[in-house]
Amino acid sequence: MSKLGIGILSFAHGHVNAYAQQIKTFDDAQLIACWDDDEARGRRQAETFGIPYYSRVEDVISRPDIDCVIVASETNKHADLAIAAMEAGKAVLLQKPMAITLADCDRIIETVDRTGVWFSMAFQMRCDPQNIKMKELVQSGAIGRVGTIRRRHCIPVLFSEAFVNGPSHWHTTAEANKGMFFDDATHALDWLVWMFGVSPVSVTAEIDNVLTNSAPDDTGAAIFRYPDGMFALIHNASVTWIGENTTEIYGDKGVIVQNHGDAVSASIRPPCPIGVKLYQVDKADLGWQDLGMPIPASQGERIAGVARPFIDALKAGVPMCTAREGRLSIEMVLACYRSAETGQRVTFPFTED
């Protein structure tokens, strides 16, 4: 069986290293070559993964033995790199967030439509067994009609001097990444897109620096309203040390609670609560039902878990997350910023001025 050839365009976003490490173990895919505009970083990672480094993007995307490239650059470079690869006939796995602007998202979508190449966003929450189980429960009607969701996605990185002033510091700049809420809340927003498949009708949000001043923002909270009246409460902060109780889904026939779904809760160890539990009104005598879902050893395990579904989806010709779904999470996060800036409720569809 021939192996899929995978190229890497930039190691700026650390998640790509977890994908690459897993791909090295697969018998149906192999790493072929890489490019990085930071030559020292590119050469270092090329040596780590045993692949050649090229100083020109064109030398990677022109290789006939490369079927797909993983784009993991700074966010503001996503569109140009993804489009160049697709124009060269290469499939693309794009690290989140999709782009800084809706205009760049639209450029990507136009290229996907015109070239017909395989394109997918890389959102690890779609690949996680706990999240997949919760989606199955909601879609099966296990808790009836959903009225309210609370979803947290937090990290402690702005407490880290190495993150703020080290190689990852681009995450904290408005030019490369807009803000930390933009960078990380998109996980929770894509989770909503994936879970319910519809656009909200409005959002009210607050985003600001609450505990630090090393990035454009460190904390945000948003309340989305959906066409059927559902509330979705999103909390994201880059200044959270530890946590539990990541997700609460309240329906008219039951409740789902997830306790270890983000970075600050995935690594917590016993004594700790159940991974995912279910309460159903018609089975009230059972109390909380432990669904037996394993708790990952770390969020890094979740991130690495993208690699296998990525290769399987590429082989099947079906994206894990489409370009239009990627755009919706950007539309949602930009609307959050507009609401925070103006102090007003923002409606969808949202457009940039």
**Interval 259-284: pLDDT, tens:** 999 999 987 777 888 999 999 999 99
Closest CA to 111 of 64, 78, 154: 78
- C-alpha 226 chain-centroid distance: 21
Q: Is 209 exposed, middle or buried (0-12, 13-18, 19+ CB in 10 A)?
A: middle
Determine the Cα–Cα distance for residues 159 and 180; give it in Å rounded to an integer. 13
Contact 74, 177 (CB under 8 A): yes
Per-residue model confidence (pLDDT) at position 273: 86
Query: 191-201: per-residue pLDDT in tens?
Result: 999 999 999 99
Which residues of the chain fall short of a pLDDT of 50? none
Query: 26-43: per-residue pLDDT in tens?
Result: 999 999 999 999 999 999
Closest CA to 224 of 96, 333, 135: 333
Per-residue model confidence (pLDDT) at position 1: 56
Under DSSP, the state recorded for 103 is H
Structural tokens at position 299: 């969020």
Determine the Cα–Cα distance for residues 299 and 316; give it in Å rounded to an integer. 27
Per-residue model confidence (pLDDT) at position 272: 80
Query: 91-128: per-residue pLDDT in tens?
Result: 999 999 999 999 999 999 999 999 999 999 999 999 99
Q: Is 241 exposed, middle or buried (0-12, 13-18, 19+ CB in 10 A)?
A: exposed
Determine the Cα–Cα distance for residues 266 and 131; give it in Å rounded to an integer. 13
Per-residue model confidence (pLDDT) at position 46: 98
Q: Is 282 exposed, middle or buried (0-12, 13-18, 19+ CB in 10 A)?
A: exposed
pTM above 0.95, yes or no: yes
Phi, psi of 5 (to 5 degrees): -95, 125
Domains delineated in the chain: 4-117 (3.40.50.720), 126-296+332-347 (3.30.360.10)
For residue 237, the cross-strand partners are 219
